[in-house]
Structure 1
Amino acid sequence: MSGLIHIYCGDGKGKTTAAVGLSVRAAGNGWNILFVQFMKIQKSGEINLLKSLPGVTVLRTRRGGGFSICMDEKRKRETIEGHNELLKEVIGIVQKGETDLLVLDEIMSAYNTGLIDKKMFEDFVVHKPDYLELVMTGRNPPQNLLDIADYVSEIKKIKHPYDRGIQGRKGIEQ
């Protein structure tokens, strides 16, 4: 089987949720999934569920992370170092040949804000193993990634409670 490249993008709620749903489907079919979150440091319910599924490994940002617009220079350096370490770890795991589906959640945010080594990331995507199904999420994917993707799904916000000041709610956004 030849693995394809998916991008879930847009300004709407649901990019990570779509990636989680695909991960659950793949796990239900006996696949090995590596679900990796960049930028995100807050707790979220879907991560607890994914960790409990057989065949699913979850890795998250360990240093830095958070919203890039809130980062001072020290936090940016920590985030870059943490993201690059995480990406190197992911590449090492994938090279062992035991991952069927790789999800890089919020990788577009890390990429677009310069909080990851772009060349290392691009080289990995372009030279990913043929069998590997790759999912990338986040807003504003660059054209070079859109060009090589097989699936591009845009999630568009029409209306969101946050616009009225309603914060994320446990079980819905968290």
Structure 2
Amino acid sequence: MKKIISAAILVAACVSAHAETFNFSYTFADGQAISGSLSGHLNGDLVESVSDVHINFGGVDFSGALFGASWSDAAVNWNSAAGPVVSTNAAKNNFIFADANPQTDYANVNNYFYFVNGSSVLGSEAFALNCHGNCDQLALDNPTGNATWSLVAAPVPEPTSIAMLMAGLGVVGAVSRRRRQA
């Protein structure tokens, strides 16, 4: 019985430790929109351990694994060691998601979306570029009242409900087995 309960607790802990999925969108002042999803853990209004980023700009998906970083005024470049800073509060965003590392492989960056606030070098700026052939799709603005940022948790089934169901079935099975043995 103790083994079954221990296993159920372990399963519940493992299932609830998975990252959340978030959907995001940014509509530029000119009406162009970029959207996508990412995984991470929400801590206050910041998403930590950002991974599995997918982006769509103007109906075209960015391809391949996307590099993520934050802007560093001190280095005057993108800092991959610090990772991207993504927030539910647009004023705290400091990130780039690109199809290549813009610090070391700039010539091969064809698709990217960056959103930086309060930089002494870049100021506050959001920029997207999607080169799916001729690099004519781009959008740039300083986030204003006309631009909108949204980052919300994607609706997913609650893994703790599944773990609770499994634990309950385990207990019922253990009780049934014990009654049969008695």
More helix by share: 1
Normalised by the size of structure 2, how large is the TM-score? 0.25
> Who wins on radius of gyration, i.e. which is larger?
2
Structure with greater proportional strand content? 2
- Whose RCO is larger (CA < 8 A, sep 6+)? 1
